Structure formats: structure tokens, C-alpha cells
Structure 1
Amino acid sequence: MADSRQDKSEPEMLNLIAAQEQSSGIAGMCHPKVIKMDFPRFNREEDPTSWSCRASQFFDYHQTPEEERVLMASWNLEGDAQLWYQLLKEEHGEHCITWQIFIDELFERFGPTRYQDCFGDLTKLQQTGTVKEYQAQFSRLLLCTGRLLPEQQVGWFFSGLKESLKADVQACKPTTLSVVVGLAQLYEAHNQHTKKIATSETKKPANYRFNSSNSSMSVKRLTPAELSERRAKGLCFNCNKKFGHGHRCKKLFLIEGS
């Protein structure tokens, strides 16, 4: 009886081998780990620049087609932003809104006004809270001003720092924004730690040590006659030793004259 493998035609065998090789190759491949990314939600409190950047990152990672981006973004609008989108659809027509139109209209409605002097606000910005809070305010204004040279970013960020941080940060001569921010946070933490130690030492109670032998004093009553006698003999009123310059009693008494 002929081998069962001979029942298969040559093309079928070749296809079977190719399929097996392909399956084996796929099984041996190392697939990259899938990163879970949630689409960012947007409301009127959100910074549109930051939100649009995160939305673009989501689309790029998932390779979202251009024609699907507006619909996906609209599902994640909240509050006034959702009402704004309904009006936008009525104005342009739902199927006529491209991603670029969506972003432009979003910035027009929720972004800084065209009359806002972002660069002026950036140069006047001063740190009033933590370095982290100051950095967030600085970054928002920096996005509005457009591109600035690294030395300009460092200069304006440094000029708004608290005076208690400037000397230490300047001594390190930072050349990029990330470095000057990192230095400011480092010295802020150092100053807070130093202040905490100083405060704890100030509040630390004094450590007094009491000698139990001195905690109670002996009471010795002397009569007027005894006082006169000791005075005549030049004796100490507290002990039986001669009284003179530099004399110190080894034992302390409380003398009560009767």
C-alpha cells in the first residue's frame, strides 16, 4: 500500500509546509508588550494644549485613522465641552469636521484668547507656592508663547524663583529647563529638611539632671546662743569647719533661727 503522504499533490504539500513554517515562525516571534492607554477626557477646566498632545499620542499609538479621530474625541467631552461640540456639528455638519478643524475650534473656544499676552505673563510670573506648582504655571504659558531658546527658558524660569532658591540654583549654572527645574526642586527639599530640623531642635525641652542627694535639704535649727558661740569661735553656721575666705560647705543646711 502506498504511503498516505503520496495521496497529496505536490502543490498541496508545498502549501502545507509553508503554513507550518509560517506558524512556527510566528510562534517564535517576541511580541512587544501592549501598553494600556485610556483616551483622555476633556472639560473646560482642562488645558487644551496638554489634552490635544495626549490625544495625538493616543491616536499615533493605536494608528487611529484620521476620519475616526473626531468621533472618538467627541465621546470623551464633558460638560460645556460636550455642549460646544453639539453646536459645532450644527455649524459645520458632523461629517465635515476634520481633526484639524476640531482642534482649531477647540482652542478658539477653550484656549487662551488672542488678546492674552502669554509672553508678558511668562516674564512676570513669580513663584508663590512650591516649585512643582510654579513649573506647571510656567509650562502652560510657555506652550502659548511658542518656541523659545533653551537659554531663554532657563532665564525666565530662574527669574521667577523664590529668592531662597536662586543662589544655590545659579551656582550650578543650569543650561536647560529640565535641569533648572530639577535643581530648584532639589534645593527646595533641602531647605525644607533643614528648616524642619531647626524647628525640632528649638522645641526640644532642656534636659535637666537633678541629684537626688540635693533634692532635699536638711533643716538644722540653731538657737541664739549657738549662733553667738559659732560666731565667737569663727565657725561656719552650717558646718563645724572654720569659716574663712573661699569656704564652701560640703553639706547644705537650711538654718532657722528660733
Structure 2
Amino acid sequence: MDLSFAVVIPARYASARYPGKPLVPLRGATGETKSLIQRSWECATSTAGATAVLVATDDERIAEEVRRFGGEVVMTAPDCANGTERCADVIERIGAPADVIVNLQGDAPLSPAGIVAELVSRLAEDPEAAMATPAVRASRSVYQHLITDQLAGRVGGTTAVIDSRDRALYFSKRVLPYIPAAAAEEAYAEVHLHLGMYAYRPSALARYRAAPAAKLELLEGLEQLRFLDMGLAVSVVRLDPLAWDAIELNNPSDVPHIERILAERGIA
């Protein structure tokens, strides 16, 4: 069964680490600068088949920028705690524009757009799953980088623990599962780096919005843990390592790295 899908890009201005982040200019391969939200929108619109691409925000400055480059905006409640709640708020306001709602992060302009179709297909194949999300197998170098960050007290990424049915058992900002030293020397350890992209059924979004935040969700700072706490199945699409680093813009120091990858990939 084919499922229709719409892409929602949650965007907020009041980021604690980087206020005004969606409006930060990023220089592309031709030297042209575009705002982060425009580059995220262009990433979303490169996905074929979407019934709609919507930016969900509660800030008029972001909305004005989206209208400037021709995007479509849905104004959402200012009290949305995370991107999933913002996607749910869109559904409450305008109804479900498709069978599946894909959350493409507004700070991830380097996300592989082709993954969207895989997430939607997974929900079609796994009717019991409330949500689908991708995770990339960690290469030896990525695994060592994650461990180095962890030992230094830094969060290097979110890992997904996945069962034999490709269902999520847990997500953590710690490096999970534990890997013995011998296994860590393999080309690919059994560690999967989670990518912050989600495909939800509208009914699951409604249940998520109605439920209180889970204790583990608040401790880890990971919105997807609420689905697991509610007992809902989360299907994980396992991916081989990407050809480029899908860096998110979380801090000002990330800007030159993203601009370098834009140039290397020839993205204007």
C-alpha cells in the first residue's frame, strides 16, 4: 500500500544555544548566501512526491523569511516543547495533509532527502509502527569519535539500540550498546547513530501531543523517547554510512563545516 506524505519543518527562533538560528546565512558553492531555513526548505522540496512542504513556527521573523523565498508557513503555538509537538500542532490546526507526516529538522540542511521515501515505505510495510526514523551504522572512526567525546564529557551524537525486527529499544546520548574491545575493531560496530528525521502517522502525533512528557525523554533530552514510554512501536531504517557528514547547525562553530560540505557537494 502506497502512503501519501507531507513534510513539516519545525523552526523556532528562541534556541538556547543559538538564538535566531533559522535565519543564519549559509554560503553555498556559488558564493550565494541563503538562510538556514531556506536551505532546509530546499532540502525538503528536493524530495519527490510530497503533497506539501510546510514550515511550522511560532515566530513572525521566521515566517516572514519563509514567505520571502516562496515557502508555506503554518503558525503554531509558542508552548510546543519540541519539533514533534510542533508537527502535532500543525495537524490540530489544518488537519492531516497526508497519510504520513515527515519531520525534517529545520537545522539539518544536509539531511539526505532520499531517506524520506524509505521512512514512508517502512510505515507502509510495518502497519503496527507509530513512527519511523533512520539510524546510520557507525564506522570504526565514527565509533571512536563517539567514545572520545563521551570520555571527555561531550555529547557526540544520539545512538539507537535496535532489535532484530528493526524496532527501537532505546535512544540515548550515551554510546549504546556497550561494545567489547575486540568487536570495536570491526569495520562497523553494532552502534547506530540516529538521524533526527521522523515519519509519523497522524494518529500517533495526536496521542503524543495528548501525553505528558516522559521522565526519560526529559532526562535524555530526546523527544522520541515519549513514543517508547507510551508503548508505541518505533521502526528504525538502518542505513550504511553516508557519503558526507550530515552535520546539524547547533552552534556558531558548525557554520564553516556546513559551508564546506555545501561547497564540496556543489549545492548553490
More helix by share: 1
TM exceeding 0.5? no
Higher share of residues assigned strand: 2
Give the greater-gyration-radius structure (CA).
1
TM-score w.r.t. the length of structure 2 is: 0.21
* Structure with the larger RCO, 1 or 2 (CA within 8 Å, 6+ apart): 2
TM-score for both structures, normalised by structure 1? 0.22
